């Protein structure tokens, strides 16, 4: 944390260019919004450059990888801060370091065997002696933003410490973090209050459309979350960050219209995949310990949520695969309690890309 804050302070004082690199799901876009919202306020004083990049799921894939690093380098950043990703991008971070670009990784995912040791700093609950490891990516970004003041013994301003908790709560609920853990329990409790009070214009506008009576974890997980996730599942997710940070009614309503359209499209695609998958399993005399379904017509942006629906039926680790334009099978997996799919897949990494 201290290394990360020191480097951010240098970037601000020297008016360098900072680029936030985020994942395209709810946790990633809320984490990005926390970072952008905080740094935009400081940008008014320090006059440094600030931009963001959220990969295109279909053209560039997940996380910092060999495809999207080209676009990132073209933005000419001096400092890159990853949010909700980066812990598994050792080679890409080494490449950025060779080009003179510093990288701060903020993430919460399980690391691979090779850590990104060329990162200037890694802010991750498992590597920072943090007592609660079940923080979401948004929670980690929130801690980093507070750290801009707290590492110097100061109290973070209310517009960070309190006003960002709606986004932290949204990331925690939608990324299925353990909300019984002390920090998450507080974040969600206080974040729900902020959303119910209508403190963030974009969420308040969504609430008036959906006629929320009371804001609960269900509201976040099953009403807000799917609409935000639909952005990156169907197309690009940059508009989510703009919606979460904007106070312009025309901009917010326009983006909410797009999110609603994409969410309806997502539902239709999801229903098709589940129906097709059930048909495949019915024809296969299913008797296995895991479920694997796939079809060239499956939409790769919706395979993850379809896998979750299949688990509701079979309660087995489930893989749903789609064939991409390069002819590769690309998919998503969901597991059940007691089966760590990350570890299982690492055992067979040589046959996976």
pLDDT tens by residue, 133-183: 899 999 999 999 999 999 999 999 999 999 999 999 999 999 999 999 889
Q: How confident is the model at residue 44, as a pLDDT?
A: 94
C-beta atoms surrounding 164 within 10 Å: 27
Q: Which structural domains are found in the chain, ordered by start? A: 2-247 (3.90.1640.30), 270-351 (3.10.310.30)
Q: How confident is the model at residue 100, as a pLDDT?
A: 98
For 318-332, b/e burial (b = at least 16 CB within 10 A) is bbbbbbeeeeeebbb
For residue 19, the 8-state DSSP code is E
At 353, is the pLDDT very low, low, confident or very high (cuts 50, 70, 90)? low
Supply the mean pLDDT for the chain.
93
Q: What is the C-alpha separation between 215 and 40, in angstroms, rounded?
A: 28
Q: What is the C-alpha separation between 139 and 27, in angstroms, rounded?
A: 9
* Phi/psi at 121 (5° precision): -155, 145
Q: How confident is the model at residue 284, as a pLDDT?
A: 83
* DSSP per-residue string spanning 82-122: EES--TT-HHHHHHHHHTT-EEEEE--SPP-SS--TTSSEE
Neighbouring-strand partners of residue 291: 318
Residue 305 has pLDDT above 90, yes or no: no
Residue closest to 87 by CA, chosen among 124, 42, 129:
124
* Phi/psi at 17 (5° precision): -100, 120
């Amino acid at each position: 944390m201290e290394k990360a804050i020191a480097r951010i302070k240098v970037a601000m004082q020297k008016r360098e260019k900072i680029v936030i690199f985020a994942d395209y799901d709810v946790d990633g876009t809320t984490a990005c919004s926390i970072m952008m919202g905080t740094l935009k306020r400081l940008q008014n004083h320090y006059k440094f450059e600030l931009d963001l990049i959220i990969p295109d799921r279909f053209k560039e894939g997940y996380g910092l990888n060999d495809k999207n690093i080209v676009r990132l380098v073209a933005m000419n950043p001096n400092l890159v801060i990853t949010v909700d990703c980066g812990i598994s991008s050792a080679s890409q971070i080494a490449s950025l370091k060779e080009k003179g670009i510093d990288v701060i990784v903020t993430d919460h995912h399980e690391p691979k065997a090779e850590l990104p040791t060329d990162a200037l700093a890694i802010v991750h609950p498992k590597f920072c002696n943090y007592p609660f490891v079940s923080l979401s990516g948004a929670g980690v970004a929130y801690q980093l933003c507070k750290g801009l003041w707290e590492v110097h013994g100061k109290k973070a301003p209310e517009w960070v410490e309190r006003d960002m908790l709606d986004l932290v709560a949204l990331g925690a609920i939608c990324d299925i973090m353990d909300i019984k853990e002390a920090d998450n329990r507080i974040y969600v409790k206080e974040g729900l209050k902020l959303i119910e009070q209508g403190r963030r214009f974009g969420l308040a506008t969504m609430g008036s459309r959906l006629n929320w009576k009371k804001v609960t974890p269900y509201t976040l997980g099953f009403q807000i979350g799917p609409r935000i996730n639909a952005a990156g599942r169907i197309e690009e997710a940059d508009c989510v960050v703009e919606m979460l940070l904007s106070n312009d009614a025309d901009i917010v309503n326009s983006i909410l219209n797009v999110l609603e359209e994409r969410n309806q499209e997502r539902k239709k695609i999801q229903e098709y995949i589940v129906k097709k998958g059930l048909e495949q399993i019915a024809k296969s005399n299913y008797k296995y310990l895991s479920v694997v379904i796939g079809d060239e017509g499956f939409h790769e942006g919706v395979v993850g949520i379809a896998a979750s629906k299949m688990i509701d039926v079979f309660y087995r680790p489930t893989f749903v695969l789609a064939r991409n334009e390069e002819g590769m099978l690309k998919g998503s997996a969901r597991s059940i309690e007691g089966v760590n799919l990350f570890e299982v897949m690492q055992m067979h990494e040589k046959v996976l890309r």
